[in-house]
Structure 1
Amino acid sequence: MKVFISDDQEQQRLWLTDIITAQLDELGFNYELASVWQPDDVLDAVKKTSGPNIYFLDIVLKQATNGIELASKIRDYDPDGFIVYVSVREDMMPETLNAMTTPTGFISKMDLFNREKFAPHVREVLEVIKKRLGTLNEAPEPTLNLHSGALLLKLKLKDIVYCEKVHGLRTARIVTENQGYLVHKNLSTIKEQLVSGHFFNDFQSYALNLDKIVTVNFNKGLVTMTNGDALSFSRGTIKKLRAYYQTQE
């Protein structure tokens, strides 16, 4: 988890950093303090992290992008991140809600530079974040659950490398790193349970775990997976995967 503090006033940013990191340490957060604060640099850094992160954002930044706009862009890459506005502009609180940035808190700068009064506000927000993180960590991992004859199959989605349709049969094969399972289910039925994982389901006869792809040769239509399997696709079919990656750039 990274912690971003975006404020264009250096003196205020340094003071906030001191207060916020002290509270993070006291509450036992496992975090890394990001060194960037300008909107473009923050977004570049967010794109390289998995989140959820914590963001303390001033609303009025003397930049092309203000704090609310920055928060809106952050949501595209870190939908579960915790956004906390720290600003003197309390009148803009409704705007932060209208922008649908889902802030975790709003801390007024009225008591800035008064550690005794300001620190409790920071701690209160961080305690909420810590509680929500605990809830997220307790959430069960998404699984694939199938009944096929006498077989009851329950696999964590993250362990599935790919699924494939067995041609000529109403059957599919589910492949993990070291095992394959033949189930009497249509692949389309299996795909209905693969929506919460990182799966590419646009192939008619395959569902690929995008996290398990090692290489893709678009010219040859060849996809290699982490378990060593090499899957072959026609040029027309592989174009669908290329189109997906292009949307992620």
Structure 2
Amino acid sequence: MKVFISDDQEPQRLWLNDVITKQLDDLNFDYELAPAWQPADVLAAVKASRGPNLYFLDIVLQREINGIQLASKIRDYDPDGFIVYVTVRDDMMPATLDAMTTPTGFISKANMFDVVHFAPQVRQVLEVIKKRLNCLQREMEPTLTIQSGALLLTLKLKDIVYCEKVHGLRTTRIITTDQAYVVHKNLNTIKAQLTNGRFFNEFQSYALNLSMVVSVDFNKGVIRMINGDRLTFSRGTIKKLRAYYQAQE
């Protein structure tokens, strides 16, 4: 996540840099402080980066556009970013809502250069952002989604132990860490969603979550999974897994 601090008054901008980064560090944010602060430079950097980013904007930004207009343009490229207005113009708060910039917070400049009173305002906003980031990250966790008849199944990939073709039927068993599901989908259709590097899809009748593999006996063709299941393969089949592991070395 990039952090932008846009204020045209250099002493204020440098002071904000120090106070804000101190709070970011204290709250263990994973961030990079962007050097850009002028509107055109901020927008160029936003276009080239992946959000969500964090923006501290002075509303009365005396450049080609003000802070509200800059926020509106940021929204075109980073709709999930966190915009915080830092301003002496509390009377302009309604304008930020009319512009539909969806601010996360407002920090008054009344306490500028007074760390004791200013820093807690920054921290309060950052704590809210931290919670929302955690929610976003959970929502972005990769999943397997299957429509099987009236059943709509969404499973986190990290919870799937393995998937197994049910022979003779266009059906697959999906084994998770706490439950087993039988879905009317062929295994190859499911494998198409298991492409994030966590799964080994080279077996004809199985897709294995490699992080759930406890041990492999290549001589006996036995793979033991974290849930206690023992999967048996012929030597010709299991050599595909041996080749995969050797390629990773």
Q: Look up the match of 1:111.
A: 111
Q: Counterpart of 1:56 in 2: which secondary structure? A: strand
Q: Which amino acid aligns with 2:86?
A: V
Report deviation, 1:152.
6.5
Whether 1:150 and 2:171 are equivalent positions in the alignment is yes
Q: Deviations over 1:183-215 (max 9, x none)?
A: xxxxxxxxxxxxxxxxxxxxxxxxxxxxxxxxx
1:7 touches 1:58 (CA, 8 Å); kept in 2?
A: yes
Query: 5+ residue gaps in structure 2?
Result: 150-169, 176-188, 203-249
Name the TM-score, length of structure 2 as normaliser: 0.61
Q: 1:25 to 1:69 in 2, by over 3 A?
A: same
1:56 aligns with 2:77: no
Match of 1:40 in 2: 40
Q: Indicate how the Cα distance of structure 1 residues 66 and 151 shifts in structure 2: closer, same or farther if over 3 A, else same.
A: same
Partner Cα separation in structure 1 for residue 115 and residue 15 of structure 2:
9
Contact 1:146 1:152 in 2 (8 A): no
Q: Deviations over 1:74-117 (max 9, x none)?
A: 11111111000000010000111111111000001001011111
Cα distance in 2 for partners of 1:69, 1:127 equals 26
* CA distance in 2: counterparts of 1:152 and 1:5, whole angstroms: 51
What letter matches 1:116 in structure 2? V
Structure 1 alignment gaps of length 5 or more: 155-171, 181-249
Where does residue 220 of structure 1 map in the other structure? none
Secondary structure in structure 2 of the residue aligned to 1:85 = strand
Q: CA deviation at 1:141?
A: 3.0
Q: 1:125 to 1:147 in 2, by over 3 A?
A: same
Letter in structure 1 aligned against 2:171: A
- Aligned to 2:60, what secondary structure does the other structure show? coil
Q: How far off its partner does 1:143 sit?
A: 3.6
Q: Describe the shift of the 1:142–1:43 C-alpha distance in structure 2 as closer, same or farther (beyond 3 A).
A: farther
TM-score of the aligned structures, taking structure 1 as reference length: 0.61
User: Which protein has the larger Cα radius of gyration, Structure 1 or Structure 2?
Assistant: 2
Report if the CA contact (8 A) 1:146-1:153 is conserved: no
**3-state SS of paired residue (2:145):** strand
